[in-house]
Amino acid sequence: MTSTADTVHALFAEAVAVIVRRGWIQTDTVEAIAAVDKSLRSLVERQKLRRLAVWISGFPDASRFRYWLQAGDVATLIKDIPKGMSSRDFYLRKADIKKLEDRAILKATGVEGEIDRDIERTFPNDRFFSDDGDGKRLLGNVLKAVALYADDVGYCQGMNYVVASLLLVMKDAENTMALNLDNFSMQEVAFWLTLALIRRKGMDELWKHKMPGLSRCIFLFQQLLKQHFYDLSAHFRQIGMHSSIMVTQWFVTVFARVLDTQTLVRVWDLVFMDGWKAVYRVALALIARLRPTLLAMDLEQCSEFLRWNPKLGLETVLSPSIFLEHALSYKVTRFSLKQLEEERHLEYLRLRLQQTPLSEEHRLLFPTLQQDGDISAKKKALELIRSKLERYDTDVASDTIVLQNKIEAAEKAHASTMSVCYAIAYELSESTIELKERIEIKRRLRAKFRSRLNTAINEATTSSSANASAPRFTMWGNPFEFLNERMASCLDRLPLVSKWLDTEHELHVANIETDIENDEETQRTLRHLEMLVPHLTAELRLLQRSIAYNERFLQPLLQRTRLLQRDAELARIEVEEAQVFKDRLADQLLQIMLTSEKLKNKRMQQLFAEVDQNGSMKSKT
C-alpha cells in the first residue's frame, strides 16, 4: 500500500514539475502542495520545485515581499531586537520618529547629511519622489534607521536606490492589490529587507566606507567575462577600458538604476533566493545585450555612451521571463565563485611577495596592497617567506630537469620515427601510383586481347571463311564444328574483370587473375586460328608479348608495394608508441608542477597568515 502511495505521489510531483515549467502555477501553489504531507514535501524539495517556480514565474505579486522576508531570514534578524519590543517600535526608535507618519530629522553633516543630499537625487523624475509625493519622507526615515542600526556599515550612495525601489514597488503594488506584508508597514519591510541584503546577502562589503568588497566582485566578474565573452574582454583590454566603469553601479544598486520595475522585481526574486551568483548571472545577461554595441566602440565612445545613457539603452529589455531565462543559462555556481575567490587570494599574495610597482588594474582590484604600514618590517617578513618558499622551487627544478631531458629525448625519437614514417609513406604512394598504372595497362591489354580473340573466332566461323577454306580440310568431317566446340569451351573459361577499389584489392586482383592468354586452351585456339585468320592471329600474338612484357614489371612492383605497406604499418605503430611515451612524460611533468604549485601556494598562505597575525598582535600591544 505504501509503495502504491509513493508511486502516486511521485507521478503527481512529476506532473506538478511539468505544470511549473509551463508557468501555470507559482510558488504559493507549490508550497500548498508540499504542505499536504511529508511525502509530497520531500518530493517537492528533492525536485527543487520551489526554486523552479521562482525561476519560471517569480514570486506571486501579492505575497512577493513576504517571500523576500523569508528568503532574507528576517525572522532571525528580528530576534536580535530587545525583548518586549515590537518590530515597529524598534524601527521607530532607529528612525528617531514617534509614529510612521513622521519625518525623520536629518543633520546637515556626517552620514545623515549624505543621506539628505542623496534623497534629492533619487529618481527625481518619479512622481512618488517629487515634492508633492511621500517618497522622500519614507526614504529618509528608512535610510536613517538602517544607517543607525548597521553602524558598522553606515550609509553608501547606491543604498538609496535600493530602498527607493523597494518603496516604489510596494507603493505601486498597494495601488492595485492587497499586499501581504505580514503585518509590517512599508517602511518596516524596506528597513528589514535592506538589513537582510547587508547581513545575509553580502552587500555590507559593498556599502561600507571605501567599498572594500567591490574589488573582489569586480575581479570575479572579470573572470566570468573572460569565460563567457572573451572577445568583449579582449576588446576592453585593447581600448583600455575597465569593466568596473560599467558594473560598479549595477552591483552597488543591485540593478535598481538600470532595469525597469517589472524586470527588477524578478531579478530581486533571484537575488534574495540565490545571493551573489544571481547577481553575476544577471550581469552577464546584461553584458550579452550590450555586447554588439560595445564591440563597435572605442574608449571615448564607450565613455560617452555610459555617461549619457544611465540605463544603457536597456529600457526596452526583453520580457522579464525571457531575460531571466537568458540569465539563468549562464552557469555560475557557489563552487565556481569560491574557486575564483581562491585564485584572487593567491594573486593577492603573489603581488605582496613580489613587491613590484602595481599596475592601474592591480590598484583597482587589490586596493589594500597600497597600504604600506611598517615598510622595514614588511620587507623582513617577505624575505623570510621567500626563503622558505625557495625549497619548493629547488625541489621541483631538480625533478623537472630530469623529466625535461627525458621529454627532449622522447621528442627526438618521435621526430626520427616520424621522418621514417614520412619517407616510407612517400615511397608507398609512388609505388602505389606506379602499380595502379601497371594494373590498368594489364587490364586494357587483356580487354583488347579478349576483344580481338572474339573477333577472330567470329570471322573464322563465318560462311565465307568456311567456304574459302573448305578444300583444305577434306580429311576432317566438319573442321569448323570442331573449332566452334573448342573455342566455345575456351570462351566459357574467360574470367570477369572486377572493379578495382583500393590498393589492397588491386594487389589481390593482380595476384590471383589467371593468365588466360597464355593457358593451354588459348594457345591451342591460336594455332587453329593461324590457319583461318592469320592476320588477326598475328595481332593476338603481339598482344600476348605486350602482356608478358608488362608482367615482368608488375610482379616485382607488387611485391615491393606489399613490403612497403608492411613497413608503413610498423612505422605508424612506432610513431604512436613514441607519442604515447612522450605524452606520459609530459603528464608526469605537469602533475609534478601542479602538485608543487599547490603545496607552495598552501605554504605561502600559511606564512602570510602567520605574518599578518603577528603584525596585528604587535599593533594591539
Closest CA to 181 of 191, 561, 352: 191
Summarised one tens digit per residue, pLDDT across range 321-349 is: 889 999 999 999 999 999 999 888 888 88
Closest CA to 192 of 86, 121, 295: 86
> Which residues, given as ranges, of the chain have pLDDT below 70?
1-3, 5-6, 9, 47, 175-178, 315-318, 355, 370-381, 388, 392, 395, 463-518, 614-621
Contact 54, 270 (CB under 8 A): yes
Contact 56, 183 (CB under 8 A): no
Same domain assignment for residues 230 and 337: yes
Same domain assignment for residues 136 and 231: no
Q: How far apart are CA 249 and CA 75, in angstroms?
A: 30
The reply to whether 183 falls in a domain is yes
The reply to whether 615 falls in a domain is no
The reply to whether 492 falls in a domain is yes
Q: How far apart are CA 523 and CA 57, in angstroms?
A: 93
What's the confidence (pLDDT) of residue 491?
Answer: 39
The reply to whether 30 falls in a domain is yes
Q: Which residue has 598552501 as its cell numbers?
A: 602
Summarised one tens digit per residue, pLDDT across range 263-294 is: 999 999 999 999 999 999 999 999 999 999 99
- Indicate the residue type of 127: R
Rounded to 10 deg, the angle between the 261-274 and 276-295 helix axes is: 140
What's the confidence (pLDDT) of residue 487?
Answer: 43
Same domain assignment for residues 225 and 192: no
Same domain assignment for residues 102 and 35: no
Same domain assignment for residues 292 and 404: no
DSSP 201-220: SS-HHHHSTT-TTHHHHHHH
The reply to whether 375 falls in a domain is no
Helix, strand, coil percent content, the chain, rounded in steps of 5: 75, 0, 25
Same domain assignment for residues 40 and 81: no
Same domain assignment for residues 487 and 590: yes
Q: How far apart are CA 512 and CA 271, in angstroms?
A: 79
- Indicate the residue type of 12: F
First-to-last CA distance in the chain?
Answer: 72
Same domain assignment for residues 536 and 413: yes
Burial of 67 (C-beta count, 10 Å sphere; 0-12/13-18/19+): buried
Count of other CB atoms within 10 angstroms of residue 319: 11
Q: Which residue has 543607525 as its cell numbers?
A: 148
Among 319, 338, 367, identify where a domain stops: 367
What's the confidence (pLDDT) of residue 471?
Answer: 43
Same domain assignment for residues 329 and 270: yes
Contact 104, 146 (CB under 8 A): no
- Range of the structural domain that residue 22 is part of: 1-57
What's the confidence (pLDDT) of residue 265?
Answer: 94
The reply to whether 304 falls in a domain is yes
Same domain assignment for residues 394 and 508: yes
Same domain assignment for residues 272 and 184: no
The model carries a pTM of: 0.67
Contact 196, 72 (CB under 8 A): yes
Total domains in the fold of the chain: 4
The reply to whether 301 falls in a domain is yes
Closest CA to 285 of 247, 242, 334, 234: 247
The reply to whether 613 falls in a domain is no
Residue 479, C-beta contacts closer than 8 angstroms, at least 6 positions apart: 469, 473
What CATH number does residue 180 fall under? 1.10.8.270
Please count the CA atoms within 13 angstroms of the CA of 253 that sit on its side-chain side. 21
What's the confidence (pLDDT) of residue 272?
Answer: 94
Same domain assignment for residues 400 and 274: no
What's the confidence (pLDDT) of residue 232?
Answer: 94
What CATH number does residue 222 fall under? 1.10.472.80
